[in-house]
């Protein structure tokens, strides 16, 4: 696997490229932040021209698929439009949901307020459905597995906000920006709280898995993206203490 500062290559051939991107990169040009670092520009240095077929949030890490030619772009875009592509996200939320599984079916309107957030709007919002499953509770946090059936901007983040369990360190949808500190949940932590470095201090959302049909061969393919170092550090520590592992779901 080739690793660059911006991404890891999960798979590539003449028709598609599947990358595991770091948090903080746009998938393609954004009208609100045209000078922000972009994954496509970085990856095109290695693969040549790439065609975006979907997006994940700038602050979300994980799987991104690009087409490498117009035919593949059309094919995969149609799969997304027809909801024939399965997506799985993992996230850490603040709090402990009382439900184990929940389907949120609320229409969403992207760029619905002054902060460019996606908001629930039953009059002009687009149909949006996300299935959530609690992988386990870990003290002040819970791991949640999300399966978005639709692909609205910030869909998972906006839908989770409506449940009262926003994603850890979400700068837009959570009022709690407290980073994940080992001292917050490890009882016998003996370090200096003034010098403690956070395990994670960015949006705790990762695009973990995607399933699609190859545009040329017709083969059904599944790709997974390992957690980045910060989320893996959190997963490892929480698993040791609370015996909960979202990778088992």
> b/e for 97-108, b at 16 or more Cβ within 10 A?
beeeebebebbb
Measure the CA–CA gap between 172 and 154, rounded to whole angstroms.
10
Among residues 225, 198, 235, 227, the alpha carbon closest in space to that of 92 is found at 235
Among residues 110, 91, 113, the alpha carbon closest in space to that of 166 is found at 91
Question: Where does 18-114 have alpha helices with state H?
Answer: 39-47, 70-81
DSSP 176-240: ----B-GGGT-TT--S-TTTPPPSB-S--EEEEEEEEE-TTT--EEEEE-PPPHHHHHHHHHHHH
Please state the φ and ψ torsions of residue 163, each to the nearest 5 degrees.
-85, -10
The catalytic residue positions are 57
User: CA angle at residue 30 from 126 to 230, to 5 degrees?
Assistant: 90
């Amino acid at each position: 696997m080739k690793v660059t500062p911006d991404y890891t290559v999960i798979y590539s051939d003449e028709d598609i490229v599947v990358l595991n991107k770091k948090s903080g990169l746009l998938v393609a040009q954004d009208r609100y932040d045209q000078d922000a670092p972009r994954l496509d520009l970085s990856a095109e240095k290695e693969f040549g021209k790439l065609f975006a077929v979907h997006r994940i949030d700038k602050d979300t890490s994980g799987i991104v698929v690009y087409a490498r030619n117009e035919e593949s772009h059309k094919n995969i875009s149609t799969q997304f439009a027809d909801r024939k592509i399965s997506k799985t996200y993992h996230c850490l939320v603040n709090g402990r949901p009382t439900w184990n599984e929940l389907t949120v079916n609320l229409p969403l309107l992207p760029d619905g307020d002054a902060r460019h957030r996606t908001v629930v709007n039953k009059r002009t919002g687009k149909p949006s459905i996300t299935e959530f499953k609690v992988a386990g509770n870990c003290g002040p946090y819970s791991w949640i597995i999300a399966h978005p059936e639709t692909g609205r901007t910030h869909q998972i983040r906006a839908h989770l906000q409506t449940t009262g369990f926003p994603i850890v360190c979400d700068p837009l949808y959570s009022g709690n920006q407290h980073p994940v500190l080992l001292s917050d949940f490890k009882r016998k932590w003996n370090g200096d709280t003034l010098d403690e470095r956070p395990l994670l201090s960015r949006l705790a959302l990762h695009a973990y898995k995607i399933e699609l049909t190859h545009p040329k061969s017709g083969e059904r393919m599944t790709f997974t993206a390992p957690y980045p170092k910060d989320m893996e550090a959190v997963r490892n520590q929480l698993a040791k203490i609370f015996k909960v592992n979202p990778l088992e779901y």
